[in-house]
Amino acid sequence: MTAIVMIRQATFILGVVASICASVAGQQATAFDDLEMHLSKKMVGPEATKVIITHLVESGTNTPLENLVAWAKAGFPDLHDEHGIWKTEGLSLKSGVATSICYYFSTSPSPNQSTMYLKTLDDLKSDDYISYFLTGMAYQFVDPMVLERRVVSLLGEKDPNLRSQGIHMGNILAKENQALFVRYEQMLKSDDDAHVRTTVLSSMLGWRRKDVALLAFDRLLSDSNDDARKLAARGLEIAAEHRILTTDDLPTILPAMLRTNDSFVRVSIGFTAARLSTATSRFIRPDMFNDQLLYNFIQMVREKGTRMHSALSDVELAKEWLAWWTPLIPEYTRQIQIIR
């Protein structure tokens, strides 16, 4: 066999191998087209999407879910330089990987999906960002009874971080499960860790329910932690904005404004009362609505009570508020401008 013939044969073989490799790579790329479309739909950044798809294609994997979990568990070693600095935008990449993991759980259900998902959570517990993302999605992939058992177990842990994880994991369940809701309510009022209490309240506020709004009111008055009270104030504001509370609730919230010695609490209650008794098409001017303004109202109703030789009832107090605040609306509020 001449040297020329041997070279031709070698060239042919290399061409065949290259063609096969290109075909396999093309098939793998096609296999991840649906994932790429899903990531785009979920608003994952294009750079992160490209990195994830490239990783899966180059790995040659036939088990993308397991591959992504292992990659995340290892801390994405190929995406850091020798100094441990990310070569790409880390949070965007983690968001994309967590979204991809959920995608494969949703498109490839199995009889032991609950066990697999909880194991994935355990495998990735060292990554706070991905763990939080997946914990909040557990209700979609874990059987409700299995999930409730895990949630109750976490709520009983001594570690406040684990209790917070349990609260986050059981958020959707607690909305419909009365026994679990009662457990959340107890923790909101009595857990000795402020972060746990704020996690409970934060998880509830999105439900937009009156009982939750009244729990926020209770926390505003009673919680010793500033962050918890600020969150509670925001919860009351949300309840007023969305008319979860109404002017019928003024007799419930206004008396506390007269009793408190805390300026923050007083202004928060007053702002909520003003929001409830102002059209939603107007916003209250925070630069003008202050403690001094409320002091004028409080002095007025106290003087009226003194003249009557009896403190105003809660209902009378609400009527006095409406009579006092309504004329002030044009000065202390502005029409919301809608930009089209």
Residue 168 lies in a domain: no
pLDDT band at residue 16 using 50, 70 and 90 as cut-offs: very low
Residue 265 lies in a domain: yes
φ and ψ of 282, to 5 deg: -120, 150
Q: Where are the alpha helices (DSSP H) in 210-262?
A: 210-222, 226-241, 250-259
Q: Tokens representing 210?
A: 């009156």
Residue 46 lies in a domain: no
Structural domain total, the chain: 1
Residue 34's H or E segment, with its range, is helix 33-41
When the pLDDT of each residue in the chain is averaged and rounded to a whole number, the result is: 90
**Cβ neighbours around 162 below 10 Å, total:** 16
User: Which residues form the domain of 318?
Assistant: 247-340
Distance set, CA 125 to CA 130, 136, 147, 194, 291 (Å): 8, 13, 17, 22, 45
- Report the SS3 class of residue 335: strand
Q: What is the CA radius of gyration of the chain?
A: 29
Distance CA 284, CA 274 (A): 8
pLDDT band at residue 9 using 50, 70 and 90 as cut-offs: low
Residue 314 lies in a domain: yes
Whole-number pLDDT of residue 192: 96
Distance CA 168, CA 157 (A): 14
Residue 113 lies in a domain: no
CA within 13 Å, CB half, 164: 15
Whole-number pLDDT of residue 30: 66
Q: CA geometry: angle at 64 spanning 61 and 66, to 5°?
A: 105
| pLDDT tens, position by position, 265-316 | 999 999 999 999 999 999 999 999 999 999 999 999 999 988 888 888 999 9
Distance CA 335, CA 329 (A): 10
| pLDDT tens, position by position, 129-148 | 999 999 999 999 999 999 99
Task: Flag the least confident range among 1-5, 37-41, 109-113, 163-167.
Answer: 1-5
Residue 322 lies in a domain: yes
Residue 336 lies in a domain: yes
Closest CA to 180 of 215, 216, 162, 204: 204
Residue 226 lies in a domain: no
pLDDT band at residue 83 using 50, 70 and 90 as cut-offs: confident
Distance CA 16, CA 273 (A): 78
